[in-house]
Every structure is written in structure tokens, then in C-alpha cells.
Structure 1
Amino acid sequence: MVQQVQEVAQTGDNSGQDLVLSHVTKRFSDFVAVDDLSLTIPAGSFFALLGPSGCGKTTTLRMVAGLEQPSSGTISIGGRDVTSLPSHQREVNTVFQSYALFPHMSILDNVSFGLKRRRVRNPDAMAKEALEMVELGHLAARKPVQLSGGQQQRVALARALVNRPAVLLLDEPLGALDMKLRRQMQVELKAIQTDVGLTFIHVTHDQEEAMTMADTVAVMNKGRVEQMGDPRELYELPRTAFVANFLGKSNLMRGPITEDLGDAVAVDVSGVRVVLPKSRSAAHAGSAVVGVRPEKMRILDIDDAAYSPTANQLVGRVVDASFTGIITEYIVDVPGVGMVGTFSQNLGQRPAAPGERVRLLWEPEFSFGLPGDEEPAEGTDAV
């Protein structure tokens, strides 16, 4: 199958076709949708633009596709400035959430349509190879209405790949699928991208989707990139409250830095001494917003014999306990801090009940520190 993929997608060398956005801004009247955005996306990478509705990710994708014109800035592919080129003159194809298949055409004709319009030789043979690549060759004679949502999504992907683009744009392509099929397609899309070696740019608001598939994730907010990196780096060491809250769940607590411990600092969080490594903190003096992911915490009964004194401990009362099968999610009201969330694996222990007093413990190396002026609620529904 890899050989077929390379024949379909790599005839014509697209190596070295880095996508570069330089100081790109897009205004709609008085509204700035994309604000001075600069990105370099290496050829052959799987890149995700992640963010909430209205953050500018889809507008960015449309400018790369040539469907919107930047108000300022430039876009280049492989060193060629394409800023002013219409979409059909760019080495770019887009897979939309709606799939946009022609209902009256067969699956084979849908995939070969663009090739025939461009008078490419052997369009049906190339289309058949593309369908084999997405494992739908046996359905070439069917109409779109006869296929499932996941199959239609694969047809749309084959139709885009058969045109041998330098960059493939994916605009929320899995949004219409149910959860089980979406997870399956995430794995398949990543496998196809790895096989063909093309640049995939995936726009999504789904954090799990971006982290599952992308080599690099850019988290967008208010027209700008808040932070960019590999998924593990963004999750384990967010640099802003927005990234910490949008990419998963975080407990964020503000306090003054009271001690310099050499390679660590101590923060006073409502009378509780919280220690974190300097290498994981953006602030080493003044104040900081300390963060810890819920799954990094342990929850213990207030009188648990396994408890041993530690700097990073909070005491509070359970407000809610939600059993989800694999884990139980607790919400604990900690005086002076507020509501703190933690997850506990269901390993047969007695669960804590609402109203019980408990301890929340975590190791210093699981903490991360944000600048003290960060708003802890940024990126949550509370803002």
C-alpha cells in the first residue's frame, strides 16, 4: 500500500515545500481575526491549529487555501510567494467537514473529477490507486449516499490526495462522525500522512484530536498563537493559563514566591507551602500562578495512615464525586483556593464521598509555574 501511496501522492517532488506565513493579519472591518501571525510549517509534518471558535484558526486555513486574502503579510510554499494567487493555482487541497462529494457521481468519478478537469493522463487509474490507498477500491462504483460517514470522509481524502498537493488542509474533517468512528479515523489519518509524507495542516477545536495526530500543535487564542510545540510539551509544561486550561484540565493557584531553594522555589498558596522546580516555572521571584494537572494528584482520607508530611498538600472537603468507570473524578473545595479537581484510578479502594474531608498531595516535579499576572480562569467557561 505504501508503494501505491507514493505513486499517487509523490509523483512530482514536493519535498522542501515548507509553508511559511510571515506577519499575516486578517481584518474584517473593525474585527481582527488573525493578528500578525508568523509560522513555519516544515514539509512532511502533521501540524494542528487548535483553539476555540473565533480564535482565527479557520480564517488562517482559508488564507492558506486562497479562499481569503490577507489584509497584510505574506504566505509562501516552497519559497514561492502565493499570497496573491487564486486557490486553483496553489499546490493546496482542502478536506472539509461536509466532505462536499457530488451525490450524482460514482465514488470513482468523484475522485477523478479534478484530474479530468485538468486533462491529466490516466485519471481513472490514478483515482483507483487513491481509493485503494484509503481501502475503498471495492466501492468505486457506489454513490456517496451508499457509504457511511467514515467512508465518505475517506473518499474526500482520496480526492484531495490524488491531486498531489504540497499541502493538504483538513478543516474539522472528523466533526460529523460519532466518537468511536472519529477515534478510528484519527489513527487512519495519521497512518496515511506518515505513508505519503505530505504536509497535513489540521484545524480543530478538539484537544484530543490534535494531540493524537499532530507532530506539532499551535494553540490559538484571539488571532494569535499562544504556544506551539509537540503535544506532550504543551500538556506537561504550558506557558499560559489559556493553554493550561484549554489543553486538558488544570488546577491553577496564585501566590507570592516566598523562598529561593536553589533549583526550586516555594510559593505560599493561601498558607500552604507549594514547591516547584525553577526549570518548570516562568517566575522565580515576585508572584506565580502554580499549576498541577488533576491526574498528578493523590487523594487521601484525612486520617489515612499512608500520609506523610509534604510541602504540596491541600486539605478540603469533597463537593462532588463522579464515577466514570476507569477513574473517579473528584471536586474538592479547598479554603482560600476554591474548587480543585483530581482524578483517582478505581483500584478497589473505598471512594471518598461528598462531604468528607480529604488531603490532596502531589510531587513538586508535577507542578508548573506561570507568571503571576496570569488570570487562572483564562480559557475556561468562567471567563
Structure 2
Amino acid sequence: MSVFSNKSDGSGAGSGAKGFREAKGNLSLDSVTKQFGDFTAVDDLSLEVPRGSFFALLGPSGCGKTTTLRMVAGLEQPSRGRIRIGDTDLTGSRPYERPVNTVFQSYALFPHLTIVDNVAFGPKRRGAKDAAKLAADALELVQMTHLAARKPSQLSGGQQQRVAVARALVNRPEVLLLDEPLGALDLKLRRQMQVELKRIQTEVGLTFIHVTHDQEEAMTMADTVAVMNLGRIEQLGHPEVLYDLPKTTFVANFLGQSNLGTGQVTGTDGDNLVVEVAGTTVRIPKERSTVSDGAITFGVRPEKVRISDTQPEGAGNDVKAKVVDVSFTGVATQFLVTTPSGATWGVYEQNLDVARNHLRPGDDVWLEWDSGHAFGVPVDDAGAAAGAAAADEDAAQPVAAS
């Protein structure tokens, strides 16, 4: 087992006598609020991160995720609320007193020191007699032993990122904070590092909290994702659950893409709600809707929709549309269509056949989906617009803002 691993430890908490740095257990935020003058950056946020998990705070710029991370690190103090690890209250303690380390997007390596000396810096300052051994083990964990004698300027961005992780892990923190650590890397290297960070987290068994605006990054690495908006958590859960069953229009728009329509619940049909959306009758499983009557926003993901130039047999869960754009992307073909209500929908069709797609802009088509793939959320025009705008902004700006 790695010398950095916490897997063999119990979940007992450190007492005040042992000091803040001995705290062990789940990370808890209890009704935490952070205000800067009249602006509330984090609003009454309560959260528990299980020990040893990979947790992601996901959201657009300005949603409060980085402020939350800075409060966990001790770089900011909450205006109200408490921050605990296990039974140890860290509120008010200083950053160096906490069993927490941060990997920043800028890496912040010392340019005049070798890689091994960068990693050994922390243990040496603590007076650890085995600082050299600890640094060597950390470099081996991130597969950088062969570059130990180089200076940071002689490394690529991805290599510097690995060193920054090693320098944080060598201190054996209870919690490792990752503040947009992959934002400065190109797309291919970013994807490689996603896999590497997950491997490292699994091997060492530490609690990782990853702050990012990149939904693919969060879903690829994290066991649990919290989607933040306006200082609050909109929805929290496993990545697959968040994507498949969003609970708000903001999450439906920000996390991936959704085809949405506002309608009215007109009745029930067994386990389904019957909904009238722009003159079309659709069905939504009751268990997949947070609304049971009145106004409702119907949604279905683009890859769940089938497109055809002939009307499907049977009634319900289909709508006529007109093709406005066709894009071949290799593994799939993406269609943009307009429905009779004027809404623009997306359809992703995987390229499984050798025959080329024959649909072209201007063609009349029919869209069909299984009711089990639909979802219902409360009507929230502001949330829908904010989620769509945030998703568009982050897609256009791959390098993260804090």
C-alpha cells in the first residue's frame, strides 16, 4: 500500500488536543455563507463529502465554487456556518493548520529548485527526516521519477501538473483540493490527465475535491458531482444520475444539452403523466418528474431522440419538424430541427450504418422517443436561460475562469 494511502485508517476524528492537522473523517460544510459586502458568493450551503471520495464542484464562473474551495482551504473564512473534518471544527483556523493542500491551475512551482526539491520542500520545512524518501515516493506515484533532477522550466505543462500533485500529496493531506488544475492544458493532454488523476486518487485513497466549469471533466473523474448556481447547490449526485435525470431547468441546460418544452399536465395514464406540449401529447414517467400537476417543463436528451422522414406508428411521443442543419462529426450525425412551436431541437444519431445520411436542410421529418427517457422539471425560464448561457460560455472558453 502507498505510504500516502489513508485506506487503512479508521474514520475517527482528531480531537482539539491533537491539533487541526490531525483531523480525519468526512468533510462537512454546515450552513456556510460567504458575503463580500452586499454580495453573497455562497448562500447557506450544507454539504458532506465522504472520506476517500472524488468529489466535484461544477458550475459556471461566478457560481461560488471557487469561494467554497477557498473556505475549505482556509484562504477565506465563512461569514456564517461551520467547516469540519470529522468532529474537528476547522472554522477560523489558518491554512497551514489544516490537513488540506491545494493544487492550483498555475501549479506555482519554485523555478529555482529541481523537481525533487520542489516536492521535498514541504516535508523539509516540517523537519521530516525522511523528506527525500517521501519526495521519491510521491514522484513515483505520479510517474515522474525519471525527471527528478530537472527544473520546472524544462517540463511540459502536463509534467508540471503532475509535479504539483506530487508536491501536494507528499504532505499526506486529509483533503486535496484541485482548483481548475487542467484548465491550462490542451484537449488531448487534459483527457489524459483526467484518467491519471482518477488513478492517483484511487491508489492513495484520499479525499479529492475538484473545482471545475468543465462538465466532461467532472463527470469523467468524480464519484459525486454538485452542480452550483448562484451560490447554492442545484443538484448533487452520481454523474450518470445528474445527466439522465436533472431536477431543474438549470441543470438540464448546463449539464449536456436538452430538448425542452413548456406544457401542462392534463392527466395521468398508469405510471405516466400526460402532458400537452405545444399541441403535442407526451408522456413522462411519474418517477422521472419533479412536477405532478399544472405547468411543467418537458425534456429529453438529443441522443434519446430518433429522426425519420416517415411518421412513426402509434400516437404520442412524436412530433413533426423541419431540418435546419446537418453536421457529420465522425461517430455521429447531429441534426438541428425546428418544431411547429418554433423551438429548436437537437438530435444525435450514431453512425452505425454504411449508408450515408440522406436528410438535408429543409426536409420534413418526424421525431420520436421512448417515454422512459423523458423527464419533467419545474418551469423556470430564468434558470433555463442561465443554464444555457453558462453552457455556451464555458464551451467557448475552454480555459477556466475562477
Partner of 2:299: 291
Partner of 1:166: 174
Partner of 2:324: 319
Aligned residues: 376
CA gap of 1:12–1:297, structure 2 versus 1, over 3 A, is closer
Displacement of 1:200 after TM fit? 0.2
1:354 paired with 2:350, answer no
Partner of 2:378: 371
Q: Within 2, Cα distance between the matches of 1:41 and 1:381? A: 29
Q: Within 1, Cα distance between the matches of 2:237 and 2:243? A: 10
Q: Within 2, Cα distance between the matches of 1:165 and 1:263? A: 49
Partner of 2:201: 193
Partner of 1:184: 192
Partner of 1:106: 114
Q: Within 2, Cα distance between the matches of 1:167 and 1:133? A: 17
- 8 A contact 1:27–1:33 mirrored in 2: yes
Unmatched 5+ stretches in structure 1: none
Q: Within 2, Cα distance between the matches of 1:171 and 1:372? A: 33
Partner of 1:331: 336
- 8 A contact 1:286–1:372 mirrored in 2: no
Give the partner amino acid of 2:340.
P
Q: Within 1, Cα distance between the matches of 2:103 and 2:42? A: 22
Give the partner amino acid of 2:84.
S
Partner of 2:157: 149
Give the partner amino acid of 1:312.
N
Query: Which residue of 125, 128, 139 maps to 2:136?
Result: 128
Displacement of 1:323 after TM fit? 1.4
Aligned counterparts, 1:257-296, within 5 A: 257-296=265-304
Q: Which moved more, 1:212-221 or 1:350-359?
A: 350-359
Give the partner amino acid of 1:82.
L
Partner of 2:183: 175
- 8 A contact 1:14–1:166 mirrored in 2: no
Aligned counterparts, 1:18-167, within 5 A: 18-167=26-175
SS at the partner of 1:353? coil
Q: Within 2, Cα distance between the matches of 1:10 and 1:261? A: 51
Unmatched 5+ stretches in structure 2: 13-24, 393-402
CA gap of 1:11–1:265, structure 2 versus 1, over 3 A, is closer
Partner of 2:395: none
CA offset digits 1:219-266 (Å, max 9, x no partner):
000000000000011001100000011110001111111121121111
CA gap of 1:300–1:202, structure 2 versus 1, over 3 A, is same
TM-score computed with the length of structure 2 as normaliser: 0.91
SS at the partner of 1:7? coil
Displacement of 1:79 after TM fit? 1.1
Q: Within 2, Cα distance between the matches of 1:317 and 1:145? A: 55
Query: Which residue of 4, 9, 14 maps to 1:8?
Result: 4
CA offset digits 1:123-152 (Å, max 9, x no partner):
011100110011111111011111111111
Q: Within 1, Cα distance between the matches of 2:112 and 2:77? A: 33
* Paired-residue identity, %: 61
Q: Within 2, Cα distance between the matches of 1:69 and 1:138? A: 40
Displacement of 1:9 after TM fit? 4.1
Displacement of 1:373 after TM fit? 4.8
Displacement of 1:336 after TM fit? 1.1
- 8 A contact 1:27–1:34 mirrored in 2: yes
Q: Within 2, Cα distance between the matches of 1:352 and 1:20? A: 53
Give the partner amino acid of 2:324.
V
Partner of 2:18: none
Give the partner amino acid of 2:283.
V
- 8 A contact 2:7–2:205 mirrored in 1: no
Displacement of 1:351 after TM fit? 3.5
CA offset digits 1:321-371 (Å, max 9, x no partner):
111111111111111151111111123342321111111110000100112
Q: Within 2, Cα distance between the matches of 1:11 and 1:242? A: 37
Partner of 2:349: 344
- 8 A contact 1:9–1:163 mirrored in 2: no
SS at the partner of 2:193? helix
SS at the partner of 1:20? strand
Q: Which moved more, 1:208-217 or 1:6-15?
A: 6-15
Q: Within 2, Cα distance between the matches of 1:317 and 1:278? A: 30
CA gap of 1:144–1:9, structure 2 versus 1, over 3 A, is farther
